[in-house]
Structure 1
């Protein structure tokens, strides 16, 4: 790809943002947050850009594939096949990039993930979801050590599984030593391990003082799942500074745009207790966003962040949830950062049947009732063969008291949902977002989700990653699983529930606007005049099955990512 000389403001000028200054200032500050987290003023990205000579899939049914897209002041002003017509939309010459026939799609929307957790990881967090052998792991870690200062931990906590490696195991201490002789390394799968470290990491973990240490590490670097992994992760978390978290937030954003993911609906975390019982999905729900808000406040935010607030209140009255609903605003912010709803939990998951009268069910109903009465959106998650029944039946009970049919309540993941309950949820105005977390460890008897049934049903449906604890964040890995049904072990486990490639990318773009709601629904996910100018230019032609085989889908990434007409990733 080639381009004409760039004119006008710098990217930093264009990205200067007032991302929820009031929300950051009101939150209890992390040590070191200071005024940076509350810095505000300014606008979202607003660049002038023409993309030409591309195969641009707009996801607009009226004009599905074009060769030219023009973005003025952050918004799309032209889509079509005439660059001369696009240039008429500008007073001053815009930046122009020749895509040289490459395939482009709207910026990917991930309607259910945990990018904020990813950005708060300890150490120099290094995604391994694109590694397929121990040698790949070593190469990825070796590259990371060129950035991390000597002696700094290189870590990967969640988002990968040894099933994806040819060897079907974690690397050994010796293999990690060979990749990073001057850096401690710590790799941990899932929520609570197992984990592995190298020699420098072993020396650190075995010397952790106090009641929460030391950590037992095997001669091969292995750390057992559960309590021992919890101690190791906790020891690393306790070393985090606010600046570390700001760096992690920037790294998470850079990784996302390298995949073409421009919008993230973050689903929060379990409240951390600062104890070994905390897992990869635990953080301080009331302060975890501050590093991200600080980065946005500095004008360095390069993704759109939408924030759901997760609540798992232990008290029957759901006091903390009630205070959130009284003292926060849904869908408040700007085009870069905006609050969302309550989820992916409103309270601990209820049991089926919802009418059992158990204390847990009563607590869940009371929490969901508060959300409905306050007229907030809610999202819950389903992982079992029965929990969706309790949740959707609970939605119906609450709807009879406080109507929710216009609030877009959502059930996520749904590996085992049945169509009768899909119909019940659809009648309540609800929707479903699906994730391919079974890709890592699913089997023919534990597969799902039922993509085909859901797509054919007509309920509002979106694709998400749930990255990155037990699932990859990479949308192209999820597209591979959704369109092939093949897991990381190479076993076909979901073969009668497949999507087409077109359907998968539509669910990651146009369809996901529904899950953002508010002004976002008509501004994101489609490349059409009046929409925000978010574009991902791909390294392979995702739509060409002849040239890009199924296995090649996992190798797709973005070579050029545009946010509001501003280039935020360029790997050309």
Structure 2
């Protein structure tokens, strides 16, 4: 095994967390110093390689795994910082092949995810904890990624927190929480005073109606709070939140072009500038996760001039190890039917040799999309371009096979976990995994779905939504299968399967050490899984408990 190639004899002190192979004091940032790298020992490290090997140790040097194995460890050459995992479970860094982390990073205020709240009391606790670290008067916001369904017991009607409940939790900060794309929303007394002063209607209980009122409220916060420095701070927060869950790579799917009007929802931003805060962090050496960028195009013009300009003036899969471009998607044009510009757009993407990703949520759109793919393939072969259809709650095996014949793949998400009703919510995980088409997991967070991968793994393995109702009966897959979809199998979607997705010698050293054993905990505990510490490219980027010290 690879560990044997590294030698055999240095065993870490089982009573300590971090030691050094040279007796030197432990470093604060293992894997970063030029003369010290990282060794993890005495763990249950699920490599997710082709043989599903479980090992006890890995050695990391220059940002890559140089040894993966069992038994004693002899660290040769320059010193390693050694972290004793004490039997903890470790996995490859989670890859989210379809989300909107760039939108999340550009939220106004101090965006605070509520996807993990299971009650109004949880909301109050999360907000109160958040307020402790904020400047006086700073806004606490949650825009998308949660649903009132999971904030109340199943025997009560779903609702958002009231003004009084938010005041009790956060009396000294204005609060704004808005569900999905365009509400409904809620605020506390400080927020109500702000919105009312602008003529935005707010109920006595702090409620703001969905649609135009919520649109006006969100727009007001964007116009008031979003400086470039605030966007950068939001980008840091968004990346850090993902790292706390073990997510080390994000394939961002863009946004609808902002208009600067109340019609803009949670999924709107300036498509041409929204990435700049993240790229600024990259330049400063502060981008701690890997970002892959798709470009969303929603033109109704049959000539699709913006798409044509993008294809002429940009490069796919261009950049470095931390940030690079991806493909066109999750929309390539507006609509999918025969009178839409979809087919014309697909022809342009194929001719330029780009990857395309499209979005399916209905019982018919995947048919129109895959039929268009077939038409394009007859003119310009796409079988090597890895075109993808995302979400696919209603896809049939006939169309899975038709896409498979085109060399395509499916991005799967448990987006109905939050708001699903008791029947037919898909996707048909079991059928798709058994079929063998290239498939991977995603979150589609943070608008209508949570970003937390463990919630999606819970849904995929149990079929249960946030209210405990089975809504995807007969399509459950195993914990191992869904973890594979979130790690090794997702490398294919990035064209980086030889670099990412499993713990193997030569690959980028991305991993997460979990706070519980994902493979054995009760089902309900899956939703609580978190990363004790997370490593990206050999650098410890999340370690709130100072496990590595």
Same fold (TM over 0.5): yes
Q: Does 1:226 align with 2:227?
A: no
Q: Does 1:190 align with 2:175?
A: no
Q: Does 1:534 align with 2:510?
A: yes
Return the TM-score normalized by structure 2.
0.93
Return the TM-score normalized by structure 1.
0.89
Tell me which of 514, 518, 526 is aligned to 1:553: 526
Tell me which of 395, 415, 427 is aligned to 1:437: 415
2:190 is aligned to 200
1:211 is aligned to none
Tell me which of 460, 470, 484 is aligned to 1:492: 470
Tell me which of 297, 307, 310 is aligned to 1:311: 297
Q: Is the 8 A contact 2:423 2:472 kept in 1?
A: no
1:72 is aligned to 61
Q: Is the 8 A contact 2:27 2:81 kept in 1?
A: no
Q: Is the 8 A contact 1:12 1:299 kept in 2?
A: no
Judged with a 3 Å threshold, the aligned counterparts in structure 2 of structure 1 residues 250 and 306 are, in CA distance, closer, same or farther, namely: same
Q: Does 1:170 align with 2:170?
A: no
Q: Is the 8 A contact 1:52 1:83 kept in 2?
A: no
Q: Give the Cα separation in 2 of the matches to 1:323 and 1:302.
A: 31
Q: Is the 8 A contact 2:31 2:538 kept in 1?
A: no
2:276 is aligned to 290
Deviations 1:28-51 (A, max 9, x none): xxxxxxxxxxxxxxxxx9972100
User: Which structure 1 residue ranges, 5 or more long, are not aligned?
Assistant: 16-44, 209-213
1:20 is aligned to none
Tell me which of 412, 419, 422 is aligned to 2:397: 419
Task: State the SS of the aligned residue for 1:388.
Answer: helix
Q: Give the Cα separation in 2 of the matches to 1:95 and 1:311.
A: 46
RMSD: 1.7
Q: Is the 8 A contact 1:46 1:566 kept in 2?
A: no
Q: Does 1:564 align with 2:540?
A: no
Tell me which of 98, 102, 109 is aligned to 1:123: 109
Q: CA deviation at 1:162?
A: 1.0
Task: State the SS of the aligned residue for 2:91.
Answer: strand
Q: Is the 8 A contact 1:345 1:380 kept in 2?
A: yes
Judged with a 3 Å threshold, the aligned counterparts in structure 2 of structure 1 residues 46 and 339 are, in CA distance, closer, same or farther, namely: farther
Tell me which of 441, 450, 457 is aligned to 1:463: 441
2:363 is aligned to 385
Task: State the SS of the aligned residue for 1:568.
Answer: strand
Q: CA deviation at 1:536?
A: 0.5
Q: CA deviation at 1:446?
A: 4.0
Deviations 1:260-286 (A, max 9, x none): 000000000000000000000000000
User: Which structure 2 residue ranges, 5 or more long, are not aligned?
Assistant: 1-15
Task: State the SS of the aligned residue for 1:84.
Answer: coil
2:486 is aligned to 508
1:93 is aligned to 79
Q: CA deviation at 1:83?
A: 4.1
How many positions carry a matched residue from both structures?
522
